[in-house]
Structure 1
């Protein structure tokens, strides 16, 4: 028996055993039997795409459910609705006031910080220098740099 024939026998037997169960699962998640049928067909195609390993899997049923969940997630991601914002929407007066206040407050507050904390925030956040290069410049690990930066930001927030 050829590998293709063996796979077809394997997948057909397995599919007949679990098709109704998978269909109910997909219908319960989508609330639409037609959409569930489309997803079920896509699921079968994914199983066929893994023909080299599907029948040797320890738990092909679990794999099918994971693949079904992934299909559902993919579907939700592609059908999300986004609200387009107009590019020429002016800032509200309140947001302009907040930005103006921050423009005045931030430099003063930064000056109140210890020099090492101020340098971390200025270089990383304001000048947008890569954190790895800043860590290298200080002779510390990236993790240590991130920890110091987090403490500096926390101190800045408390000072504001």
Structure 2
């Protein structure tokens, strides 16, 4: 085990410095990797590729350290009443979809109703209608795109800077 450690610990250290950006943190993580090797000494000695095992442990130690550093926010510190409801504009589109769907082509309305509104799996829809799964996915994608265009026009949907729906006119009659 010591021979493998001596052969690879310097490159592991450089690997950890590259990921951490801090020599002290890399040194701490390297010590944890060494402790893992000592803890699993019997299994470590039987490994065909100890270098790969050491790198895997080093990467996992680094990931664990990143998770530990992630800031946590106490739920009691958040005033939920002041937060706007994030899903509201999208949730309220249901009325607009119900008005737009009858204006879609019959094939589009059918596949959207089945797969998106009724929850039929695409594979089941394909089998029932003698289609391949790829053809079903393509038809559904095109039907969704045409419905999206219709909803933008009919419901006057407005998007925010991130591309999310921010507002619309829910009961348009077009």
* TM-score higher than 0.5: yes
Q: Deviations over 1:7-31 (max 9, x none)?
A: xxxx311211321332243244224
2: distance between equivalents of 1:137 and 1:41? 60
Correspondence for 2:12: 22
> SS where residue 139 of structure 1 aligns?
coil
Residue aligning to 1:13? 3
Moved more, 106-115 or 136-145: 136-145
1:68 maps to what in 2?
A: 58
- Cα pair distance change 1:79/1:113, threshold 3 Å: farther
CA distance in 2, matches of 1:40, 1:115: 63
**CA RMSD between the two structures:** 3.5
Match of 2:116 among 120, 125, 150: 125
Secondary structure of the structure 2 residue equivalent to 1:128: coil
1:102-135 CA-to-partner distances (Å, cap 9, x unmatched) read: 2332122211211111121122222222222222
Q: Can you list the C-alpha shifts for 1:35-79, whole angstroms capped at 9, x where unaligned?
A: 43453244342675853763x33xx54554354334323443454
Aligned CA distance change for structure 1 residues 20 and 97 (closer, same or farther; 3 Å): closer
Is the aligned partner of 1:105 residue 2:96? yes
Where structure 2 has 5 or more consecutive residues not aligned to the other structure, the ranges are 152-174
Q: 1:90 to 1:43 in 2, by over 3 A?
A: closer
| Larger relative contact order (CA 8 Å, sep ≥ 6) | 2
Match of 1:137 in 2: 128
| Number of residue pairs the alignment of both structures matches | 145
Structure that is richer in helix per residue: 1
